[in-house]
Every structure is written in C-alpha cells, then in structure tokens.
Structure 1
C-alpha cells in the first residue's frame, strides 16, 4: 500500500502529511514518472467551499445519528410494547430485548469489513451501498412474519449501518485541515451518541398513539431521506480514490493506458486487507494493556447508556407513573448534557480569548482549557497524545457523579425532575470521555489508527449488546437505587484511568509495539 493510501485512511491529522505526499507525487510526475497522476488544487477536497464541506459533515453526521437512533428505538419499543410484541410473535418478553443487542452486534462487526473496502473503493460508494441495504433490509423488520426474521434482519441492518461509525470520521478528516478540524469532528463524534438518546424520545411519541410497527415505518422514511441526501450532496473525499478516478479519466481521454495512481499499484489484496483488519484489533486488545483498559472504560460507559434504555422505564414509569411519551422525554436530560458538553469545544481549541471563555463558561473549564493551551505551546504546537486525556479526566468525574446522583434520587418521594437533572452530568461526561479517548487512540496508535478504533468499537458494541439483556433482572433484584449505584461504583473504579495514563502514557507508548513513540 502506498504511503498516501495509508495516510488518507487515518482519522487524525492526515492532511499536512497528505499534502506533502501530494507535492512529492507532483514532483515525481514531472521529474521521474510523467504518468503518475497527482492531486491538483481543484481535486483537493479541502479546497471545496466551506458551505459544501459543512453540508457534507452535517449529512454524514445525521446519517450516523439515524443509524444509532434505530438501535435505541428498538430498546424503547421493547420496554414499552413488550406485551404487544410478545403476542404478535408468540414469544416471551425477554426475547424482544434481543432486538437491540443484535443490532449493536452488527454495528460492532461491520467496521471490520467496510473499513478495508473504503480504502479500495472510496468513502462514497460504501456510504451509498450500505445505506441502500440499510433501507432495503429494514422492510423485513417492519413486516416480519415471525420473531426469527425480525431478529435476523435487526442484526443485518446494524451491520449495514456500521459504515457511519467506522468510515465517516475519515471523511471529516479528509475535508478539513488540522487548523480547523476540531469543530467538525466534534459535531460528527457526538452524533452516534445523540442518536440513542433521540430514539426513546421519538418512539415514546409513536408508541403512545400508534402500534409498534409504526416505529420502524417512520424510521424507513427517515432512512430514505438520508439516502437521497447522501446521493446528492456528499462528494468523494478519499484522496487515493480521487487520484484513481483521475487516472482513469486521463487514460480514457488521452488513449494512453500508462497513466496510473498510487492506489493502482497498492501492495496486497483486498482479502489480505480484510484479514488484517479482523485480527489486528484483537491483537491490540490482547497485547497492549493501555488500549485494553481505555477500550474497557469506553465499553462500560456505553453499556451503561444502553442499559438506561431499559432502566429509565422502570424508574419513571413504575415509580413516577409516567406514560410512554413522558418516559421518552425523560431522556432529554442526557441529550442536554451532551449538547452542553459540545458547546465547550471552543474552550479546548486554541486561540479562544480568555475573556470570552470566562463570560460564558465556568472557571474550572477555563482553567483546564488554559492548561491545555499552555502545554501545547510548551511542545511547540505539537503536544503529546496524553494531552488529549485532559478532557477525559473531566468526563471521568462527571459520569460517576451523575450516576450516584441519579441512584439516590430514584425514591418515590423525590420529585421526578431530580433524576432527570442528575442525568445531565452523565450525558456531558459521555461526550468528554469518548471524544478524549477517540482522539487519544488515533494519535497514540497512529501506525494502526484504524485498528485502534476498530478494537474500541468491537468492545463497546459487545458491552452495549450485553447490558440491556440483564438490566431488568438486575433492577428487579437490587432495586433502582442499588442497581444504579452499582453502575456508578463500576464507573468510579475506572475513573482514574485518564489520570494515570496522562502521567505514564508516554512511558507505556515507548514500550508498546503498537503505539507511536
């Protein structure tokens, strides 16, 4: 595989290196090989208008939100219409919860295939085919004749939608240089986590007034609209594929078959690339303790988020007497926390005036952002990956605080607004934890950034699939206070990780055979 191909497949900071490689290719085409095509300014996705690039980011992000929303819609419908579904398919209520678990399993396993495909055929074709299949295979879910068909196609639709959890981040990094990538990447990063929160809100309204199949009928309409927007407004952004198409056009227009792009001469086969993408993430989890612990921390928090889709109906419907619609609205607290967290992104970016930040955010956040800016300047604008964990430290505190607060406000005598308010810091902590960890993984494990993200996705999906399965039994046995406090305790045990790795991460990277030193 060419250097350009490797660089363009990375999540973090591919652009300066890619631009350098492009200039080298241009020089080679003039001095060494006139048939090697190179990237000209009009071909560079970073030279598109700001409006067009941001439109593509918003469409990709909304498509990702739609996919993850589908998973939580299933969990919410399982929580609120179990009796109707059990009667429709003649199964026990516990079986219906598999709808979310199998969908998430598909989300976790899909990146192992679509990642290598996107490096050969480009981002766009992967988006279009995967979303078309996502749309087509949702029909058997809506009109399933039995529970087996329903569950099988839940797994398949999750697999088809996984491209937006593995490839989309690369599209964002293709279109924006290092100096301006933070904000668009933050918008994309939060979309897969806003999706599960939006699902209960949407399905709560639907199930309150209509039968459960309408949940997926509305989803079908949404998927179709997203598919049309992907076709019309999202361009190809993967530089090696752009060069490959350019070489094809030159061969056709000039009649000279010698024109070629770096991707035409890539080493290895697609099969070998898929095999590597399958074993490398698990090799990383087995032999690198830092990656294993950070991925386990992420997996626990996402598992707790998906468990909440079974726990909130118990807390708000059984204890406070909420109906379906009102219980769906109870998830707004988590969503508000996430949106509040993303609004602090300018504080983490360089160049924000202290006076502006002070006027709109807390003193704590300002001090942290100033610490980040000072450390960045100390390392000549190229801070070590461990600096990314400062944001994770904030999240590590907020997540258990929110969960303990939630646990001890679930008593019937406590007003229902208290647990909703408690879920706000939990939602904020989720954003800080995942944004910090994602950025750290792609910088600390730069040589295998795609595999590092795939290992994180696989472990997260495993936990998110498993936690809803035992949520009901755990809350019935321990009660709302005990069960939620147990989750808070587990998150507290994992909370020191970003503080520890902030201190010793550089030393661990030196001794790792996977991490960048």
Structure 2
C-alpha cells in the first residue's frame, strides 16, 4: 500500500522531472529534462492504461498479503501431520510478515536503479518459486524457511506498487487510485482466511499454496503484458542511452546511477533516524503498528473465540472476517465526504493545503478501533448471538483503513524529500508488530478471558488515539522544528 509502502515518490512537471524523494542520492532533489515526446510521458497514458496498471499492482499486493492469512487456518492439519504446536505453526505467519517488513528496505532503492517493472517481475517469479517448497514441505522446518523467503519475495508489492500509482497519476488525481490500492491491499489479510478456511475444511492444507501459485502465475502473465515501466527517471535514462547508441556520440549523462550499496545503506538507516528523531513519525508509526498488529492477532483470536464460544466449523470461522471487510468498504464509501471536508479546510486556509488536513479521517478512524475491540470482546459469549461480535469488527475495518491511508498520505506530504524513509519507518514498525502480536494472541485470550483480552488491546489503541488530534492542532509547529519535514 502507499501501501503498505516505501516506494519512491516522483513529482512531474510538464517539461521536467523532479525526484522529490531522491534520498538515495543523498537527500537532494534533482531535475532531469526528458527526451521523450509528450505522449510517452507515464502520466499521459490513457485512463484505461493507468487503471490497468494500478489494478494489476493492487491485486499483486492483495495476493501477497492474503498469503499471510490463508496460512493461519492450516494449524490443526500441521498438528495432525507433523505434531507441531500452535506456537510453532504461528512462526510461519510471523516469519512471513517479518520478511515483508525487512524486504522493502533493500527492494525500494533498487527500483530507482532498475525501474518498477523488472523489480515487480522478479518479485512475482521469486514468490512463485518459493511457494513450491511451502506447498511440498514434508516437515515444519522446511515450511518455516519457505514462508520467510516467500514473504521477502512478495514484499516488493508493499514497497514499489504504491510508487507505481504515483507514477501514472497527477497529484490532484491521486486520492481515488491510492484509496483503491490501499483498500485492496488492506483486505488481503482478511480475504486470505476466508479461502483458507474453506480449503482446509474440505481438502488438504497444501491446496492453500496451490491456490496462491495459480493466482501468482495469472498475475505474472498480466503483469508481463500489461504493466510497462512507469518510473520516469529510468525511462529518461533508457531513452538517453538509446539516443547515444544510435548517434554513436560519446555524450556524458548528467546523472549516472550512484552506488547501489550506498543507496541500500541509506534506505536501511534513514527510516530509523526518523523513528528516533522525529516525534510525529514515531507516534503515527505506533498507531499503525498497533492497528496492524491487532489485525494479525485476530487471525488466531477469531479461531479461538468462534470455536470455543460458538462452536463454529472451520469454513464458518473464515466467514467471520467479513465484518472487517465490510468496514473497509464503508470507509471507501465515505471518501467523498472526507474530500469535501478537506476542500473546505483548504478554502478556509486561503487555498493553501497543509499535510495536517489529511489527519481528521485518521482521528476518526483511531476512535473506531477501541470501540470495535471493546464491542467484540464483551459481546463474545454464548448468551449473545454470534452476529453481534462480528458486527463489532466492522468499526475495526472502517477505522483501520482510515488510519492507514490517512497516515501514509500525510507522511508523503509532510516529508516530501524523505517520504520513502518515512513510509519505510512506518512499514517496518507495522510489519514487525504484525509479526509479534500473533505469537501471544490465543494465550492472552485463554488466560485473561475474551473480554479482558480484547479490552487490553482496546486500551493500547486508546493510548495511541490522541496522536492525530494532537498533530491536527500542533503538527505545523512541530514540522517547523523537524530537520526532515517541510514546514
């Protein structure tokens, strides 16, 4: 997602290109004069072509994130086949998610040197290859190793795909395609268990990976034929190199790609500088980390609650995730309201847009999270119909999407030169949290009870809920003190 994302953001002008996030080049923006015709510009493509590119990248992100959740309904079969405990089986989810958090630190700068397309193709091919040992594993050790490298391979679509959306749409047109991309990626962890439950109810767990392999192969074909290169600096460099070769002239290029090793080192270290030195990044990353961590914790939590309290079968447990999905669709439907509200803010600010204008929806979403968790926890009991706790998860999907999409957009606007690092810091904290939370979710519900276990999670989100309210009021002042943000 802007995903989920540490993709590099590029700002275009009619006659030139400015890599506003050229931090791999030392954090200094640069300009290049394109040598292409107007119709060759990535943002001059047809609407159909733009949306095809966005939807293919979005579906790739969806499959990768669904790959995390589809695995979680296989634990009982692992226990029967290999004698593994739930905790050991859960490591397959945690390692996959951890790899998704670490991979973009290396993959994101590579797209600046080689382009989006080759990174996406390599990612899909590697993802498909590493699904094979996952599907054919004969012991849990092979399964866990395969899961880690599968997550690392698929992480490109959580780092580069968001940048692809920005490549083909103007900033004024970006909100809708970015929301679509964010929603499709956000739904992946919830769609995965729905299919995983049906598969594990009626066939072997290996078909979970066969289904992923089929989907990945189809996406690979679509990506190869319908998703061209969109990263403008790479396109300019290619065209310049072709012109030099055709003319036979030894013309020096203004800006050659700098050391890949140096770019990767910067990509790996600067996100942590932002996390430590910038309080706005730190606090907003904590909010998104809690949100995604709890979302992943509910993989095991839903199984425990609806199996022990309501005695659901496996396929029925998978359908309980529809509550979060419904909330996400409601959030999409509310997007016109937030756009109008932001338009009024800009108008009242003499037509000047501020990054903090992106945060009201985040503040609303942050309040939805604890409400959802308290509702879910204290209504999950035999005396209350099962639909009530499922309805309690709807605000979580609603709030989660608002929190993610609003914070990602805010970070890009507030930290234009260091947007990739800000998004990298956010992606790393979110996915590390998502790797850790599932390891203690079921044990927490068992020892504390469902009500108090969900309440503990609710109190965590309640602690982080004031952050967007504070930054709505004081964010501009804090950006003035930041060496990373644009005041």
Q: Match for residue 329 of structure 1? A: 319
Partner deviation per Cα, 1:445-483 (whole Å, 9 max, x = no partner)? 111100000000111011100000001110100111111
CA contact 1:250–1:259 (8 Å) conserved in 2? no
SS, match of residue 137 in structure 1: helix
8 A Cα contact 1:76 1:199, kept in partner: no
Asked whether the 8 Å contact 1:122–1:241 carries over to 2, the reply is: yes
Question: In 2 relative to 1, CA 36–200 (structure 1 residues): closer, same or farther, beyond 3 Å?
Answer: closer
Unaligned segments of structure 2, at least 5 residues: 1-5, 19-31
1:313 aligns with 2:313: no
Q: Report the equivalent of 2:179.
A: 186
The equivalent residue for 1:42 is 39
Number of the residue aligned with 1:299: 289
After superposition, what is the alpha-carbon deviation per residue over 1:229-269, rounded to whole angstroms, capped at 9, x for unaligned? Answer: 11111111100111111112212332334274x5x534x31
Which of 509, 512, 517 in structure 1 is aligned with 2:479?
509
Q: Which of 113, 116, 120 is matched with 1:123 structurally? A: 116
In the superposition, relative to structure 1, how do residues 381 and 231 fare at CA in structure 2: closer, same or farther (>3 Å)?
farther
Residue pair 1:22, 1:38 contacting (<8 A) in 2 also: no
1:91 to partner: Cα distance: 2.9
CA distance in 1, matches of 2:276, 2:17: 36
2:395 to 412, 419, 425: 425
Report the alpha carbon displacement of residue 507 of structure 1 after superposing the two structures with TM: 1.1
**2:465 pairs with 1:498:** no
Pairing of 1:87-236 with structure 2 (within 5 A): 87-236=80-229
1:413 alignment counterpart: 383
Matched residue SS, 2:14: helix
Q: What's the CA shift for 1:36?
A: 6.8
In the alignment, is the contact (CA less than 8 A) between 2:357 and 2:472 conserved in 1?
A: yes
Pairing 1:53–2:50 present: yes
CA contact (8 A) 1:441 1:452 kept: yes
**Residue 432 of structure 2 corresponds to residue 462 of structure 1:** yes
Q: How many residues align?
A: 469
Deviation of 1:375 (Å): 1.4
- How many Å separate the matches in 1 of 2:399 and 2:7? 29
Question: For 2:379, what is the secondary structure of its paired residue?
Answer: coil
Q: Does 1:246 align with 2:226?
A: no
In 2, Cα distance between equivalents of 1:225 and 1:259:
42
Deviation of 1:90 (Å):
3.9
Change (3 A) 1:380 1:93: same
1:70 to 48, 67, 70: 67
Whole-angstrom CA distance in 2 between matches of 1:509 and 1:303: 28
Deviation at 1:408, TM superposition (A): 1.4
Give per-residue Cα distances to partners, 1:481-511, cap 9 Å, x unaligned: 1111111111111111110111111111111
Match of 1:265 among 256, 264, 275: 256
2:16 alignment partner in structure 1 = 21
CA distance in 1, matches of 2:221, 2:233: 25
Paired residues of 1:319 and 1:412 also in contact (CA < 8 A): yes
Larger Rg: 1
- Structure 1 position 39, deviation (Å): 3.8
The worse-fitting range, judged by mean Cα deviation, of 413-422 and 399-408 is: 399-408
Q: Measure how far apart 1:9 and its partner are.
A: 6.6
Measured in 2, the distance between the counterparts of 1:177 and 1:446 equals: 15
- CA RMSD, 1 decimal: 1.8
Cα distance in structure 1, aligned partners of 2:352 and 2:144: 48
Structure 2 distance, partners of 1:205, 1:96, is 19
Q: Deviations over 1:174-213 (max 9, x none)?
A: 1011221110011111222100010111111111100111
Q: Is the 8 A contact 1:393 1:499 kept in 2?
A: yes
After TM superposition, the score normalised by the length of structure 2 is: 0.93
Structure number with the bigger relative contact order (C-alpha 8 A, sep ≥ 6) is 2
Residues 251 and 259 in structure 1, CA contact (< 8 A), matched pair in contact too: no
